[in-house]
Amino acid sequence: MSEFDYDLFVIGAGSGGVRASRVAAAHGAKVAVAEEYRIGGTCVIRGCVPKKLLVYGSHFADELHDAARYGWTVDQPRFDWPTLRDTVLRDVERIEAAYTSTLDNNRVEHFHERAVIAGPNTVRLASGRELTARYILVAVGAWPVMPAFEGSDLCITSNEVFHLPALPKRVVIQGAGYIAMEFAGIFNALGCHVTVVNRSDVILRSYDEAMRDRLLQITMARGIEYRFNSPIRKVARQDDGSLLVHAGDHEPIPADTVLIATGRRPKTDGLGLENAGIALGANGQIPVDEYSKTSCDSIYAVGDVTDRVQLTPIAIREGHAVADGLFGGNRRTIAYDSIPSAVFSQPPIAAVGLTEAEARDQYGEVRIFTSDFRPMKNIFAERHERGLYKLVVDAGTDRVLGVHMIGPDSPEILQAAAIAVRAGLTKADFDDTVALHPSMAEELVLMR
């Protein structure tokens, strides 16, 4: 008989937690997972998956408008928000069921209630039941940050935005990170008047400046308004039920919905980590070593709760590595360099490697290659939006340090380019590759 109820107890059934549970069970471990909300976590339930489906739905506004230039007759198209909303939510249910089946098929026991840490090898369920485990993995993710201001209770976050009863005519979005810019694009395409307010004068600060500037130009031309250096001070309910947003020193902004998208914080409040002697970081994150182990030898943490890199594929890799290390005899680390990322704005941005500014700081002399072009798809359309691709190259070694793109389908193209950056290929390798014509991707190998 084992001295513990389980070999591994996972708190949180998101992408990282489910992967760790499945892999550990496949190695022969007895595994349980507790989830207080829905299996699937942020990405599946209230993040990248439903958001990307909304992006797809909003793209039809342009597609239907452009169809006439390509010879199609589309009579009186109209949009119905409840249809898109409910279709997206049904697909979320489908994926949640698939995640649940994955746990069941791997004989992972799951508890649909909150669990907290009661000691180095003990978890306490909301029901009061205590269970023991040789190892505990914390994978509870992060939670939207809601700034403190009068009327904040009248606002929503990215958690609630998928459940809006009706499509608002006027939307104010606070923040200028990827969540803010993606929802700004969605609402703008669906016909809402969108105002983005931000405490600084920079959007998407981690991305290359040229891509940020191009996105700002295009979205302003599409009708999105910006008020920089203007954090929300107050939101008030009007007699007609609408909202009035006081931001910075500007005139108040009338709105029907106010979306707060000012970042996410590790969801560690009340988790009981102090019961295992684990001190949190300044942002509430769980400090871990390169193997995702905390200061307590029996407790590990992966994903957004560690605040290392808040990306679903990273949480999955971390969870997989922990399971392999503890139960598969394969102790390994995760590489955090050259991670591809994308913002599904309209148009989207995609990037891998160093920005031009980062490369100059680290390498000194760099060479920059750009292609500024009008995508073929836009030629028949009335839009004069231009794509922009950039290669950042180390002048000394010719190695490509970064690839940055804005334009249609950039994330789909960037994934292949990320392999090249990760492999350390040179600009000469790009030049020696035959172009695939006609395509937007060919611009990557035609820059001289």
Task: Please check if 180 is assigned to a binding site.
Answer: yes
Task: Please check if 12 is assigned to a binding site.
Answer: no
Task: Please check if 178 is assigned to a binding site.
Answer: yes
Task: Please check if 179 is assigned to a binding site.
Answer: yes
- 9-25 as b/e, with b when 16 or more CB fall inside 10 Å? bbbbbbbbbbbbbbbbb
3-state secondary structure at position 142? strand
User: Cis peptide before 82, with omega less than 30 degrees from 0?
Assistant: no
Please tell me the distance from the alpha carbon of residue 356 to that of residue 336, in angstroms, as a whole number. Answer: 19
Please tell me the distance from the alpha carbon of residue 300 to that of residue 169, in angstroms, as a whole number. Answer: 45
The answer to whether the Cα torsion of 172, 177, 181, 182 is positive or negative is: negative
Task: Please check if 181 is assigned to a binding site.
Answer: yes
Please tell me the distance from the alpha carbon of residue 15 to that of residue 319, in angstroms, as a whole number. Answer: 8
How many CB atoms neighbour CB 3 within 10 A? 7
> Which residues are designated catalytic?
437
Task: Please check if 319 is assigned to a binding site.
Answer: no
Please tell me the distance from the alpha carbon of residue 250 to that of residue 229, in angstroms, as a whole number. Answer: 10
Task: Please check if 304 is assigned to a binding site.
Answer: yes
- CA distances in angstroms from 187 to 57, 88, 194, 221, listed in the order given: 11, 15, 7, 15
Task: Please check if 118 is assigned to a binding site.
Answer: no
| DSSP strands (E only) in 122-223 | 122-125, 130-138, 142-144, 170-174, 193-197
Task: Please check if 52 is assigned to a binding site.
Answer: yes
Task: Please check if 175 is assigned to a binding site.
Answer: yes
Task: Please check if 406 is assigned to a binding site.
Answer: no
Binding site feature residues for NAD(+): 175-182, 263
Binding site feature residues for FAD: 52, 304
Binding site feature residues: 52, 175-182, 263, 304
